Structure 1
Amino acid sequence: MIDVEDLVALVRNYNPRSDADLIRKAYAYGLRMHDGQVRKSGEPYFTHPIAVAAILTEMRLDDDTIVTALLHDTIEDTRSTYSEISEQFGPEVAELVDGVTKLTNLQLSSAESKQAENFRKLFMAMSKDLRVILVKLADRLHNMRTIKSMRAEKQAQKARETMEIYAPLAGRMGMQWMREELEDLSFRVLNPEARQSIIRRYVVLQKKTGDVVHKISGDLRSELDREGIEAMVYGRAKKPYSIWRKMQEKDLSFSQLSDIYGFRVICGSVDDCYRILGAIHQRWHAVPGRFKDYISQPKSNGYRSIHTTVSGRDASKVEVQIRTREMHEVAEAGVAAHWSYKEGVRAPNPFAVDPADWISQLTERLDEEDHDEFLENVKLEMYLDQVFCFTPKGDVVQLPRGATPLDFAYAIHTRIGNMTVSAKVDGIRVPLWTRLKNGQSVEVITAEGQRPQATWVDIVTTGRAKAAIRRSLREEDRGRFIRLGQELLRAAFEHVGKKSGEKALRTAAKLLGCSDEMDLLAKVGSAEMTARRVVSTLYPDLATHEGPEIDSNRPVVGLGEDEAFRRAPCCQPLPGERIVGITWRGKGVVAHAIDCPALAEFESQTERWIDLQWLPGRHAAIHTVSLEMTISNDAGVLGRICTLVGEHRANISDLRFTDRKPDFYRLLVDVDLRDVEHLHVVLNALEADNDVAQISRHRDKNRQP
């Protein structure tokens, strides 16, 4: 366990003006509070807060953050209270300790929907004081370093949580060294065989080639000396997980990897960076497509560096990163660069970008997205690298790698994105799903009246674009649901001999806890609430007594005594829909939906038209409707679809395939239903299934009565 004076010395190495007495006081307080507590390894528990504080001294953080590290588990695990810490160490430290406690209690590895809400809370906590997440990341790093003392299942849970959340978060905040270590520690738990395999192959490679890092570092230094450039050269083999991820992403074997080794050249000025780049490219061949200039186009977390890959000694490919000392501090410390001290004073770094700007962009969207969308978009923004494109006026738009012209349009303005119809990249018209590359000029072409399409969600990459598209689709769906709800309620009220007037709807909305009539109609139209429930709320006596089942031979009002009745096969009208009858000699009356295109043929034969209405009451589930579906071509999908239809008390009377492809089937399914409300319930249930790509009511105008 690190002694208190050793900890004080670690802080004073970078901050001679540190309040040593405050640190000693926090050390003694934490030691007293955790007295008698032990970790799973059997060590005194207080060894953990001290280790977290020591990690934070490596980031040159301020006294309050170091004190917070020493006290970060006191509120949760001891008799200490917020008010006591505030009284003894000040309100700022108390707020930080309380923030870390809340993050600890989030249980981020829970079920996905709950995880999304907790992720939201995590970012809200970060937005108040970023030092909270710095302490939490250091806490997680030490726990991962000592994870072997936990049960196997607990190790796996913590490792997955670290890999999915904390490691990418550290990387997104600029602390790449911490991200790499967290990933590798998680990799050791989650896939130990793969990690050992990478290490064994690396050892074999070293035996075959010798100490490549030392040799190439020497070559680089010699070249810089020849050019008279002062710089430091560092080389290392990449972490096992970094190698494994590249093998998986690019489907490569270990022997095919081109950049197992990485080198950094750190110099004094930006001019020297480009001189070093020139010297390296003159000495070795540059690998095409592997050059990135993050000095002229920095990453959103402030990262600046030049990356190039060259064919080095023995034709082996190596990556070289070139940066100044100040750039290197930001690359190593990330967000912590905002809090770092030198010689007792805060040392602002001109290259550091406040990640609070990124957090504020996320939190602006909190009220616009549901929990799962928020989690998806946060992960997207943390994991993806950046590309930089230009507007026709020369303005730079920063996007994640893999972004499309649609992402570009939404990055400019949501209204521009919603109205996009096509795009030009470097003057050439391209599909909206084209992946953009660094330096391209993008022109977005818009049109009034254009609306986002459902397929756009799969085209775009950025969280902002996905959220805007889904929001627009929801608004459009709401209008459709309201119209459908009006029709369903009209039919349901007519079944009991009532009218669905504004006053009735307003009263029902109030009784059912809806905000207004439109909210009620939307819920009915989306099958969130049944029309029957609305009617039973207003007229319980009428709704509960539906009477006997309607005679299927004469289910409508308006027929003559001896007239036969049947539904038109072209439009397949259902009880609850408005209908009109057409008389046929020797065939009786054929009922068409009021919007059936086939009725146009009879416009000049008005004498054949008969006004018909469905009888109010309970109809039998014998009215066949054809549904057109596109489903995944996977084992068990068709069986599950059939079961789903049966669960909603509908019967499949026929099924025929219209198209078969390796990845999907297109088919027509005839389903026997009661009425239009029954149809809507079945459609919504099928549409919600992940393996149903498309479903709609099929009407064949060529089918004759």
Structure 2
Amino acid sequence: MLRQYELVDRVLDYDPNADEALLNRAYVFSMQKHGTQKRASGDPYFSHPIEVAGILTDLHLDDETIATAILHDTVEDTVATPEEIEQLFGPSVARLVDGVTKLSKIEAQSDNERAAENLRKFLLAMSDDIRVLLVKLADRLHNMRTLHHIKSEEKRRRIARETIDIYAPLAERVGMYEFMREMQELAFEQLEPDAYQSITRRLAQLKEGGGDKIAKIGSGLKLLLARHGIDAEISGREKHPYSIWRKMAERHISFEQLSDIMAFRAIVPEDEDCYRALGEVHRRWPFVPGRFKDYISTPKRNGYRSLHTSVIHAENTRVEIQIRSRAMHAEAEFGLAAHWAYKEGKVRPVPGADADHSWIRDLVEILDTAATPEELLEHTRMAMYADRIFAFTPKGELIQLPKGATPIDFAYAVHTELGDQAVGAKVNGRVVPLSTVIDNGDQVAILHSKAQEPQTAWLDVAITGKALAGIRRHLRHKERDEQQQLGRKLLDDIVARLPAPLAADATEHALRRLKLADEPALLAAVARRTLSDAAVMEALMPGSAGADVAEAAPQTQAISIKGLTPGVAFDLAQCCHPVPGDRIVGLRRPDAGIEVHAIDCGVLAELAERSAEETDWVDLAWGEGADGAVARLSVMVKNEPGALGIVSTIIGRHKANIVELRLDTRDTRFHTNQIDVEVHDRAQLLRVMSALRAADAVHSVERV
């Protein structure tokens, strides 16, 4: 464990202007507060925060961050209070300590809820001051180094899984690759002990059998570059066991089939030397197609810059070579922490809106829109961990997206409002569907309209957390608004059935009786039938339901569903496919939207036999000028060339649109097809059916 003067000297070595008194106060305060507490290893608990602080001194972080590392467990694990921290160390350190503090006291019903709540507070604190993340990563790294001291295998595996799922990718996203690799390897050892031992053993055997192959290849590479006037520092290593295991899993191959288990790094003086070195390497050894990546011209989203290539070395050995300048190497080693290095005694912070770290803003936006813990965790992992591609706006701005992204994802990455209004896209000048997968280097232009709004179908197209969060947020708001509209109509009908007019404060009293927060909550409860009509009547006018008025009073008038969206406030039944003009009724079930059926639907008789507790009916009307709907037709045509073409031509001439077509049955004389047709109303549907029946190629037409 570092002693007090050793820790302070480390900081003063790289920052002579550091607040020495602040560091000394933090050291003494933390040691006193942790007192006789012990870790699982038997070491004094106080050793942990000091080792975390020591890790951060290697990154040359400022005195406030080092003090935060020393104090980061005092509020949670000792009697220290946030007020004490602020009084003794200032508001900045107090805010950082609060951001890093583990949330062990959260009462949650599931692991997902607990993980989501921890992630929520952590990301919000991180967006306010990125140093929270740096301390948290160092804290987790030291905990992983001492994880083997924990006796419970289940607890070790849980911590390792959380590390490999959340903390290692976070370290990668801020360019702290050494942190990421060590976390992955330590977690892999706990999660897959047999695989870890097997790969480690085979790597040792490989080293023994081939002599010091890495040293030979490294010296040859250095000699090659030196002959062409490039002074390069060469380092080589075998790939980490976790990296090898992941490659074996992704490619479905054995260890023996892996050809690129050695990696070399060439560090050259200047940026232009990188490309010169690459040229000499490719002239000397054939490169592996598809394995070259230029992260200098198009840096990773975390700011990482380097050239990556794989070549076929002697004896058909495939090796990976990374080429970077000294400045790039410093950035790659320290990552985001490099931005906090002292320049002339002043710290240079990275603001949350920094272009290289805009993903943090995306995460905060996801926090605001996620409805469930599962959704938050899913979207956050998507935003942080997916492999990236690069696409360009028409003005040449670079947009980074995960592999498999579509124009919907691109639009939301540019701006949430653009995503909401997207109607189409042009990729490399060609109009394409919004479901098109974007390739690396594509130029994407989003076609948009203020009249557009996010569609439910987009959830099957978008893959980024930001896009999915934006779409779901809009759909939730729309569902809430439409449920309240429908709830208002249903509530008005309930009020009309009461035996006497309501008092002015009746609704206020009803909310208290029903234990609801406000009127919108009442409207939503009525729309989703979480409250029966009788219960609402009784709450509005006590005694009205008890006198059997609720059951006896008929519905006053049909309730219009005009302006409401199918699939949001109500669902059109798939058994009868009602369209405007059909007489309709609504089936109401507890905690579900209204299901709309045609009055002559064959399923209604079966549903009517159910108990009143399970089902409730409401008379509905489409309303004037209602939007169209999809009807289903069963069309039997002659088995002859062009018959289906005649059917589609007739439907098109009557301004109807075929949404889906399926072949049901087929024999030597006739084919029966189910055709879903989008029409404005029943009258248009009848015209289409009449025209089809009149065609010689059509044997029969029936509405399903």
- TM-score, normalised by the number of residues in structure 1: 0.73
- Cα separation, partners in 2 of 1:110 and 1:155, compared to 1, 3 Å: farther
- Cα distance per residue 1:427-448 (max 9 Å; x no partner): 3444433332221112334456
Counterpart residue number, 2:693: none
Counterpart residue number, 1:279: 280
Counterpart residue number, 2:54: 54
Q: 1:396-411 maps to which residues of 2 (within 5 A)?
A: 396-411=398-413
Q: 1:106-255 maps to which residues of 2 (within 5 A)?
A: 111-150=111-150, 151-255=152-256
Counterpart residue number, 2:268: 267
- Cα separation, partners in 2 of 1:252 and 1:495, compared to 1, 3 Å: farther
- Cα separation, partners in 2 of 1:331 and 1:213, compared to 1, 3 Å: same
- Cα separation, partners in 2 of 1:613 and 1:91, compared to 1, 3 Å: closer
1:20, CA displacement in angstroms?
Answer: 4.7
Name the SS for the 2:368 alignment partner.
coil
Q: 1:423-438 maps to which residues of 2 (within 5 A)?
A: 423-438=425-440
1:338, CA displacement in angstroms?
Answer: 2.0
Counterpart Cα distance in 1 of 2:549 and 2:35: 75
1:472, CA displacement in angstroms?
Answer: 2.4
Q: Which amino acid aligns with 1:278?
A: G
> Higher mean Cα deviation, 20-29 or 308-317?
20-29
Name the SS for the 2:302 alignment partner.
coil
1:178, CA displacement in angstroms?
Answer: 0.7
Counterpart residue number, 2:420: 418
1:56, CA displacement in angstroms?
Answer: 1.0
Counterpart Cα distance in 1 of 2:298 and 2:264: 21
Name the SS for the 1:403 alignment partner.
coil
1:596, CA displacement in angstroms?
Answer: 7.6
**Runs of at least 5 residues in structure 2 that lack an aligned partner in the other structure:** 557-569, 571-575, 587-594, 619-681, 687-700
- Cα separation, partners in 2 of 1:438 and 1:212, compared to 1, 3 Å: farther
Q: 1:266-665 maps to which residues of 2 (within 5 A)?
A: 266-341=267-342, 346=347, 357-372=358-373, 373-446=375-448, 449-486=451-488, 488-489=490-491, 492-493=494-495, 520-546=522-548, 597=581
Check conservation: 2:308, 2:320, Cα contact below 8 A: yes
Counterpart Cα distance in 2 of 1:483 and 1:11: 63
Q: Which amino acid aligns with 2:34?
A: H
Counterpart residue number, 2:615: 678
1:458, CA displacement in angstroms?
Answer: 3.0
Counterpart residue number, 1:695: none
1:271, CA displacement in angstroms?
Answer: 0.8
Counterpart Cα distance in 2 of 1:296 and 1:473: 39
Q: Which amino acid aligns with 2:260?
A: D
Q: Which amino acid aligns with 1:384?
A: A
**Runs of at least 5 residues in structure 1 that lack an aligned partner in the other structure:** 558-576, 578-591, 600-611, 615-622, 628-650, 655-669, 682-698
Name the SS for the 2:220 alignment partner.
helix
Q: Which amino acid aligns with 1:522?
A: A
1:72, CA displacement in angstroms?
Answer: 2.5
Counterpart Cα distance in 1 of 2:596 and 2:405: 45
Q: Which amino acid aligns with 2:395?
A: K
1:184, CA displacement in angstroms?
Answer: 1.6
Counterpart Cα distance in 2 of 1:110 and 1:2: 39
Name the SS for the 1:543 alignment partner.
coil
Q: Which amino acid aligns with 2:190?
A: V
1:349, CA displacement in angstroms?
Answer: 11
Q: Which amino acid aligns with 1:162?
A: T
1:59, CA displacement in angstroms?
Answer: 0.8
Name the SS for the 2:445 alignment partner.
strand
Check conservation: 2:130, 2:350, Cα contact below 8 A: no
Counterpart Cα distance in 1 of 2:578 and 2:314: 80
Q: Which amino acid aligns with 1:154?
A: K
Counterpart Cα distance in 2 of 1:499 and 1:208: 95
Counterpart Cα distance in 1 of 2:162 and 2:291: 32
Q: Which amino acid aligns with 1:132?
A: V
Q: Which amino acid aligns with 2:52?
A: V
- Cα separation, partners in 2 of 1:490 and 1:408, compared to 1, 3 Å: same
Name the SS for the 1:319 alignment partner.
strand
Counterpart Cα distance in 1 of 2:349 and 2:555: 82
1:28, CA displacement in angstroms?
Answer: 3.7
Counterpart Cα distance in 2 of 1:548 and 1:108: 41
1:509, CA displacement in angstroms?
Answer: 6.1
- Cα distance per residue 1:243-265 (max 9 Å; x no partner): 22233334333334343222222
- Cα distance per residue 1:76-121 (max 9 Å; x no partner): 3334444544454444334433433355666999621342233111
Q: How many residues are aligned here?
A: 593
Name the SS for the 1:165 alignment partner.
helix
Counterpart Cα distance in 2 of 1:161 and 1:377: 16
Name the SS for the 1:285 alignment partner.
coil
Name the SS for the 2:426 alignment partner.
strand
- Cα distance per residue 1:435-466 (max 9 Å; x no partner): 32221112334456444332322321222211
- Cα separation, partners in 2 of 1:543 and 1:253, compared to 1, 3 Å: farther
Name the SS for the 1:367 alignment partner.
helix
Check conservation: 2:534, 2:551, Cα contact below 8 A: no
1:176, CA displacement in angstroms?
Answer: 1.6
1:51, CA displacement in angstroms?
Answer: 1.3
Check conservation: 2:168, 2:179, Cα contact below 8 A: yes
Check conservation: 2:366, 2:379, Cα contact below 8 A: no
Check conservation: 1:335, 1:354, Cα contact below 8 A: no
Check conservation: 1:625, 1:671, Cα contact below 8 A: no
Counterpart Cα distance in 2 of 1:348 and 1:246: 37
Counterpart Cα distance in 2 of 1:387 and 1:63: 38
Counterpart Cα distance in 1 of 2:86 and 2:479: 51
Q: Which amino acid aligns with 1:309?
A: S
Name the SS for the 2:391 alignment partner.
strand
- Cα separation, partners in 2 of 1:231 and 1:626, compared to 1, 3 Å: farther
Counterpart Cα distance in 1 of 2:333 and 2:343: 16
Name the SS for the 1:540 alignment partner.
coil
Check conservation: 1:326, 1:349, Cα contact below 8 A: no
Counterpart Cα distance in 1 of 2:292 and 2:613: 61
1:499, CA displacement in angstroms?
Answer: 8.7
1:392, CA displacement in angstroms?
Answer: 2.9
Q: Which amino acid aligns with 1:678?
A: T
> Higher mean Cα deviation, 76-85 or 157-166?
76-85
- Cα separation, partners in 2 of 1:355 and 1:398, compared to 1, 3 Å: closer
Check conservation: 1:527, 1:680, Cα contact below 8 A: no
Counterpart Cα distance in 2 of 1:253 and 1:433: 36
Cα RMSD of the aligned pairs, angstroms, is 4.4
Counterpart Cα distance in 1 of 2:76 and 2:263: 42
Check conservation: 2:585, 2:598, Cα contact below 8 A: no
- Cα distance per residue 1:354-412 (max 9 Å; x no partner): 77654344334543333433332222111123222122333322223331111112223
1:162, CA displacement in angstroms?
Answer: 1.7
- Cα separation, partners in 2 of 1:673 and 1:449, compared to 1, 3 Å: farther
Check conservation: 2:302, 2:357, Cα contact below 8 A: no
Counterpart Cα distance in 2 of 1:526 and 1:375: 28
Check conservation: 1:127, 1:356, Cα contact below 8 A: no
1:424, CA displacement in angstroms?
Answer: 3.2
1:156, CA displacement in angstroms?
Answer: 2.0
Name the SS for the 1:201 alignment partner.
helix
1:330, CA displacement in angstroms?
Answer: 1.7
Task: Give yes or no for the alignment of 1:66 onto 2:66.
Answer: yes
Check conservation: 2:301, 2:357, Cα contact below 8 A: no
- Cα separation, partners in 2 of 1:703 and 1:39, compared to 1, 3 Å: same
Counterpart Cα distance in 2 of 1:77 and 1:412: 43
- Cα distance per residue 1:661-703 (max 9 Å; x no partner): xxxxxxxxx684457982699xxxxxxxxxxxxxxxxx99999
Name the SS for the 1:542 alignment partner.
coil
Percent identical among aligned pairs is 46
1:224, CA displacement in angstroms?
Answer: 0.9
Q: Which amino acid aligns with 1:158?
A: I
